Structure 1
Amino acid sequence: MEPVHPEFVPDASLSREEMEALQRDIAEQAVFTDDLPVDPESVCHTRDAGQQRLDETESTGSDEPPTVVGVDQAFLDDDRAVSALVAMRGGEVVERVHAVAPTEIPYIPGLLSFREGGAILAGFRELTVEPDLAFFDGSGRIHFREAGLATHVGVTLDLPSVGVAKNLLCGTPRAPTDGLVEGDRVPIESNQKVTAPDGTVIGYAVQTRQYDSPNRHVNPLIVSAGHRVSAETAADLVLACSAGYKLPEPTRLADKYADEAKATVT
């Protein structure tokens, strides 16, 4: 899969000011409403037990379940990132690929895509399946300039995308997020640190799993639209794809595969 907008490919040689300017351009290009090629309710639905298993290379037209890709990264050292992609269709893994690329710059809050984006795009070039949607381990619109990793890569590829982060980068939850019940969600609004107008819902804190115990708790995921997906649908998709785990299944498997791929590269 090649970039549709090569002008947005992350370039680590840019100055910080140029990177931030590029992010603002990406945010203007991003679509934070639903424009998916598939029915969101069909994403992550598994096949019935009696349904015939689809061959990976067989084309079944409109009856074929959507192809969803989970993306996660691991690091070999300070200079190289391993990007792992796991493609799923109908609840089954149909392809796993990885790529290694230099990171070139250190971690800087708000500029993650310039550190990891090269490896991620290299991973997408290795895919033989055509994805309908991607889940990224990182933010989307919940970003200072509304162009986190999921938005940056999503716009570059013009691929519907969802950002799934573990920590809140910016924005303000509309209500407390401690002690949420499984399935709960709390809107996250933009504030003075975000380029979106104050009060804009830029994502959700989503409680995908919770212990039934007062002594243990699971923190919510921070979910935001990447590109061509609304904040509300992004939260719906993450809940639908969380099969008893905190992480949605595509990124959970990508996280696991990233560690496996890292070991083979090392």
Structure 2
Amino acid sequence: MEVVNSTFVPDPSLSTAEMEDLQREIAATAVFEDDHDFDPDAVTLDGPAEQATLGELGAAGDGEDAPADRPLVAGVDQAFVGDRAVSAVVVLRGREVVERVYAVEPAEIPYVPGLLSFREGSAILSAFAELDSDPDVVFVDGSGRIHYREAGLATHVGVTLDVPTVGVAKNLLCGTPRESLDRKLPTGARVPIEADAEVETAAAGTLIGHAVQTRQYESSKQHVNPLIVSPGHRVSAETAADLVSATAGGYKLPEPTRLADKYADDVKAEI
């Protein structure tokens, strides 16, 4: 995949103020509504669950193929080796792994809340440059619209590549849930998250994503926290939540980012 909007390629040499200004431009360019060519209802998992692991992530394409008209769904995740970022991309059609690639780039700045894309974005774009597939939608391990300037990692990547993206985060960066998340939510529960005073580019009360409970323990003694799901680009908040729920596959993480996480760890061990 090639960069479409080169103006938005992350530049870690920018000042903090310049990074934040660029994020405001990205948010103004992003489309937080459904603007895509694939059928969200066709994004499902099929075939045996063990197929998704590729026999501990062996050769891509093993196992029974999913129908060719199924959407291609990519997952992106990162690992770190010292001061280098390892970005892994795994492309699925159903449970079939169609392709997987990775790239390693220097992480030139430390982690700063709200500016993650300037630390990890270069490695992600380098990985996508190695990809032969053209994903219909991309799941990114990070925030999308749920961000101080509505331009989290998923939005930054989505707008730069002009590809539909979904942000899948483990923690709430900003925004206010309509119901408390400090309780045990049942599998399938979905709590809307609204913009608040911390989200400077959206009116208070704007729906910017959901807390999505993809898995939960039956035991009352332990619980699984929900994922924080938000649109990145060209996907609505409702569709983003639907896609994550449809691809959870019995795990907390949706399969695209779960397998990207496993692949990133494998690459990290090799290098």
The question of a shared fold, defined as TM-score above 0.5 by the shorter chain, is answered with yes
TM-fit CA distance, 1:44: 2.7
Please tell me whether residue 246 in structure 1 is matched to residue 246 in structure 2.
Answer: no
SS in 2 for 1:69: strand
| CA–CA separation in structure 2 for the residues paired with 1:44 and 1:122 | 28
The aligned residue for residue 23 of structure 1 is 23
Please tell me whether residue 97 in structure 1 is matched to residue 101 in structure 2.
Answer: yes
The aligned amino acid for 1:64 is D
Alignment size in residue pairs:
253
| CA–CA separation in structure 1 for the residues paired with 2:37 and 2:85 | 30
Please tell me whether residue 231 in structure 1 is matched to residue 230 in structure 2.
Answer: no
5 Å-filtered alignment, 1:82-93, equals 82-93=86-97
Unmatched tracts of structure 1, length 5 or more: 49-54, 57-61
Please tell me whether residue 73 in structure 1 is matched to residue 78 in structure 2.
Answer: yes
Question: Is the 2:45–2:249 Cα contact (8 Å) retained in structure 1?
Answer: no
The aligned residue for residue 56 of structure 2 is none
The aligned residue for residue 185 of structure 2 is 180
| CA–CA separation in structure 1 for the residues paired with 2:265 and 2:94 | 24
Please tell me whether residue 118 in structure 1 is matched to residue 129 in structure 2.
Answer: no
| CA–CA separation in structure 2 for the residues paired with 1:99 and 1:83 | 5
TM-fit CA distance, 1:46: 2.3
Measured against aligned partners, the alpha-carbon deviations of 1:36-55 in whole angstroms (never above 9, x if no partner) come to 2100011134269xxxxxx9
The aligned amino acid for 1:10 is P
Please tell me whether residue 64 in structure 1 is matched to residue 69 in structure 2.
Answer: yes
The aligned amino acid for 1:118 is S
Please tell me whether residue 258 in structure 1 is matched to residue 251 in structure 2.
Answer: no
| CA–CA separation in structure 1 for the residues paired with 2:3 and 2:107 | 19
Measured against aligned partners, the alpha-carbon deviations of 1:177-207 in whole angstroms (never above 9, x if no partner) come to 2211100010000000102100001000000
The aligned amino acid for 2:260 is A
The aligned residue for residue 13 of structure 2 is 13
TM-fit CA distance, 1:26: 0.3
Superposition misfits of 4+ residues, deviation over 6 angstroms:
none
TM-fit CA distance, 1:131: 0.8
| CA–CA separation in structure 2 for the residues paired with 1:2 and 1:44 | 26
Q: What percent identity do the matched residue pairs reach?
A: 68
TM-fit CA distance, 1:63: 5.2
Range with greater deviation from structure 2 (39-48 or 14-23): 39-48
The aligned amino acid for 2:41 is E
- Could you tell me the TM-score, scaled by structure 1's length? 0.93
| CA–CA separation in structure 2 for the residues paired with 1:37 and 1:135 | 16
Measured against aligned partners, the alpha-carbon deviations of 1:14-51 in whole angstroms (never above 9, x if no partner) come to 11000000000000000000012100011134269xxx
| CA–CA separation in structure 1 for the residues paired with 2:14 and 2:147 | 19
